[in-house]
Structure 1
């Protein structure tokens, strides 16, 4: 399996940024780490091995970016407004620095956005903000409401990066073209969040699959089962 390590100076973050890329062709997938996870987390916890067949067969090319959660939503040493602004800068990095690379290297103009736990938030936020650039959303045990990380603060950066808030009024036509999977364990701290967001999508008449996995919990063994299953459904 081809693996490439990338490092560059991000103008949007004003610092060095790292990413791992697996494969050399196929549908591009942006795979986010969990809370404060690093770009190598999906490899270290066996998630890349779980989808190795898809990579080696040229079905997908996987981009694993670093996170800056420790400098944004999870950083209690800075103001909530600064947390939200820092995430906004991260979003610009994804949109302006990583997405064009994915398009150029694979020839695809739309991608798969995926992630586990807080990575599911990142995937959903990116997908719903840019539905013209995302064909499939695979959120595994994700959350969809970020307000618990901003201590009651509210501004445009919070609103526009909070799917529970901006999605009810989001009428972008490509939302109804997106393949959406909300995967969650039956014994999962994020189950209620997924069921709540599923109701929101249902009210908008957006087709999606709420997959509640029996006899599982919020952890890597469940995600290693979910992700290859979901990828097998992509046409």
Structure 2
């Protein structure tokens, strides 16, 4: 078990105060020993051993402090000086000891005040006068009426240190009433003769709390329960787990307010982020639109390439067939059929650049006159109409649609004029026939000359 001896130089009391800390962490508990006893007395009577499991587990951390009871409650001097000494001790606790406990404990939790006999009186005074600093008090066999120590004498200073006195004058609408209901206030006493002063004053406390509407726990043990450590340790062991559980519930109920603030802050941050994001998103879609529009254009550009290759092969094959059939008698009919097929082909491949590849059929046309197919190459110009995909850069979704219309360079199917090449070929056929006729005329002339010679 961790134990630390601390010497606190009190400027308020004008002397060094001895404090013993037990445990490393947990709910801080400020402990006031019995009248005139040192802080180590709690260890000597077995209180520390009784709470060893709470201390070792880090559930609680005890801060046992020295008192000046022999100069105040138990003194024999001037009542005003004794009362003032008690007031000075009260300020030492709230102004010097509590900050020291907070510094050492580091949990940020309000300490619980625990006391036995006169120590219970001290615990009740600090917890009821400063409920903002203390989470509550566990008072065992204390006397809360100063008459036990001062008789009938009373002044304003002693009044402030007498719970039975100031509670009886507290109005029901006092701000502390609501705070008391958020604290753990426990007063226990036995009913044996040695507990007479404690029993009487505890009853008075219970009556005043009832008048104020404060939910307080005043517990009265049997007639055999004496004013001794034997019973106090039993009572402590019985009450502590209940009080600690109640402290946990009460403090947990206090946390929602800060949590709401954090939630509000997060919402605000989220709103701000959301407000900023749309701008970025707006830009992104525009970009994406541009990319999407460009992609189809690229795809269109690529696809025609394949189409071109196919068209070229088909076109190339057709003129060859046309040449072969030209030598036959059915050349005219087949040429017409070929013409229809060639005319139908471009119509099937109505794609932007399809006509462009019709340039290659010009190669077979060289068999006649390259000049005519050459004009067909000009028709390839419409292929440039693929550029209309560029308008996609205008970042308007409608642009791609125009790009599709641009693909209507199917008009270029007229450019399929290359197909007219067969017409040229048709024209070429008569020419060829014309050329062949002279040959036949020469043969006829020769045979006529031969006949003439033989006649001679």
TM-score by length of 1: 0.94
Structure with higher RCO (Cα < 8 A, 6+ apart): 1
1:148–1:213 distance in 2 versus 1, CA, 3 Å: closer
Runs in 1 of length 4+ with deviation above 6 angstroms?
none
Asked whether the 8 Å contact 1:125–1:162 carries over to 2, the reply is yes
Gaps of 5+ in 1: none
> C-alpha separation between the residues in 1 aligned to 2:213 and 2:143?
20
183-192 or 44-53, which moves further after superposition?
Answer: 183-192
Matched with 2:8 is 8
Which of residues 196, 208, 221 in structure 1 aligns to 2:204? 196
Matched with 2:101 is 102
> C-alpha separation between the residues in 1 aligned to 2:219 and 2:49?
22
Matched with 2:90 is 91
> C-alpha separation between the residues in 1 aligned to 2:97 and 2:238?
26
Asked whether the 8 Å contact 2:36–2:69 carries over to 1, the reply is yes
Asked whether the 8 Å contact 1:147–1:158 carries over to 2, the reply is no
- Count of equivalent residues: 234
Matched with 1:136 is 136
- Report the aligned-residue RMSD: 1.4
Asked whether the 8 Å contact 1:109–1:133 carries over to 2, the reply is no
> C-alpha separation between the residues in 2 aligned to 1:83 and 1:62?
28
Matched with 1:221 is 230
Asked whether the 8 Å contact 1:125–1:161 carries over to 2, the reply is yes
TM-score by length of 2: 0.50
How far apart are 1:26 and its partner, in Å? 0.4
Structure in which a larger fraction of residues adopt helix: 2
How far apart are 1:55 and its partner, in Å? 0.8
How far apart are 1:123 and its partner, in Å? 0.5
> C-alpha separation between the residues in 2 aligned to 1:2 and 1:164?
38
Asked whether the 8 Å contact 2:8–2:19 carries over to 1, the reply is no
**Offset from partner CA, 1:20-46 (integer Å, 9 cap, x none):** 110110000011011112211211111
Matched with 2:163 is 163
Which of residues 219, 230, 247 in structure 2 aligns to 1:211? 219
> C-alpha separation between the residues in 1 aligned to 2:138 and 2:5?
24
Based on CA coordinates, which of the two structures has the bigger radius of gyration? 2
116-125 or 190-199, which moves further after superposition?
Answer: 190-199
Asked whether the 8 Å contact 2:164–2:201 carries over to 1, the reply is no
How far apart are 1:104 and its partner, in Å? 2.3
> C-alpha separation between the residues in 1 aligned to 2:200 and 2:165?
16
How far apart are 1:155 and its partner, in Å? 1.8
Structure in which a larger fraction of residues adopt strand: 1
> C-alpha separation between the residues in 1 aligned to 2:235 and 2:68?
25
**Offset from partner CA, 1:104-155 (integer Å, 9 cap, x none):** 2222341111111111111001100101112121010111111332244322
